[in-house]
Amino acid sequence: MRTIWWESGMVKMIDQRLLPGRLEIVAYDDYRDVARAITDMVIRGAPAIGAAGAYGMALAARQSSAQDRDGLLRDLRQAKEVLDAARPTAVNLSWATTRLLKVAERPDLTDVEAIRSALLAEAERVAEEDIAINKRMGAYGAEVIPHGARILHHCNTGSLATVDYGTALGVIRAAHEQGKQIHVWVDETRPRLQGARLTAWELMRDGIPMTLIADNAAGHLMRTGQVDVVLFGADRVAANGDVANKIGTYKLAVCAKENGIPCYAVVPTSTIDLSLPDGDHIPIEERVPEEVTMIDGVRIAPEGVRVYNPAFDITPYRYLTGIITEEGIAYPPFRESLRRLKEAAEARIWSDR
């Protein structure tokens, strides 16, 4: 199920805010609208946001009225700033816009139409690579999933969080396709309920056995021996292996460690940010109070209540068994293994030119 694509000069995507009640496609021909779609979570999930950023840069090139290379590059740098600000925690976004800008700045591209064409081709390449990357991650990750495993999953990491297939859900899909007879415990994932709304919807569509649980039931399931492995994605991974992921991930990883349960983050190498030494340097987005005080327009908290609503938390590397990527599984010491996998991925991307 494709989440985002280019069609007839526009970026099209599934409006994830409407699921599971309604499957609706929206289209944008302005990069600023793409940025708003990212902020408003029309599209979400680090890899999907990266693809949206890439397509947004291609739109920006088309929107620009610049007649020369320098003018177009100025407009693209401005567009990159707008897009990058849409979701500050997810490094895939700035990774993708940087990649597109790097193409635009190639010295052999001097004609503005040539730059526009090159950017669209690169955005399409980013999207297609994401699908292939997810399937590679799924294959590596399925190796650590035992037959009959009961998997605890947090947030949404499936097709909806990527261009297609998924990261942690991609591992689950691969294990299911291999006939491993798995079962998935799906965290509801407050406050935006991505597990209840999106992950449950995806798994049910694919016929993968699952049970929806309240977030607070996860610890009980682990203590009573009903979980064999914990899987989740990430929006940014620091050089030491600390992971920023959807709020609530940290307590799952701690509980898994306490109960001797393997715990893996599943991420494309584009999510690894070697420029940050540890998780304390990852910016944490804080979102609007209404996400906590209301559900589908219904108020569940008193008027005027004070709210703290961080979208992500940091899971220190010591709680992770490994980090599954498209280049293999990183194990401690993460500073060495993540750098090696990141460099391998970058070399593969640019060697394909």
User: What residues are annotated to the active site?
Assistant: 235
C-alpha triplet 143, 145, 147: angle, nearest 5° = 110
* Distance, CA of 38 to CA of 52 (rounded, Å): 8
Mapping DSSP to helix (H, G, I), strand (E, B) and coil, where does residue 323 land? Answer: strand
β-strands 150-153, 229-232 pairing:
parallel
Question: E strands along 1-47, which residues?
Answer: 4-7, 10-14, 25-28
Tokens describing residue 256: 């898994």
Contact yes or no for 152/171 (Cβ under 8 A): no
CB-based burial, 312-324: b 16+ in 10 Å, e otherwise: bbbbbbebbbbbb
- Cα 332 to Cα 234, 267, 317, 337, distances in angstroms: 17, 16, 8, 7
- Non-local (6+) Cβ contacts of 130 within 8 A are 47, 50, 51, 162, 163, 164, 268
Q: How far apart are CA 286 and CA 288, in angstroms?
A: 7
What's the maximum distance between 2 C-alpha atoms anywhere in the chain?
A: 66
Main-chain dihedrals φ then ψ at residue 337, nearest 5 degrees: -70, -40
Residue spans of beta strands (DSSP E) within 158-242: 183-187, 210-213, 229-232, 236-238
Cα 332 versus chain centre, distance: 23
Whose structure tokens read 């649980």? 213
Alpha carbons 54 and 120: distance in angstroms, whole number: 8
Say how many C-beta atoms besides its own lie within 10 A of residue 95's C-beta.
23
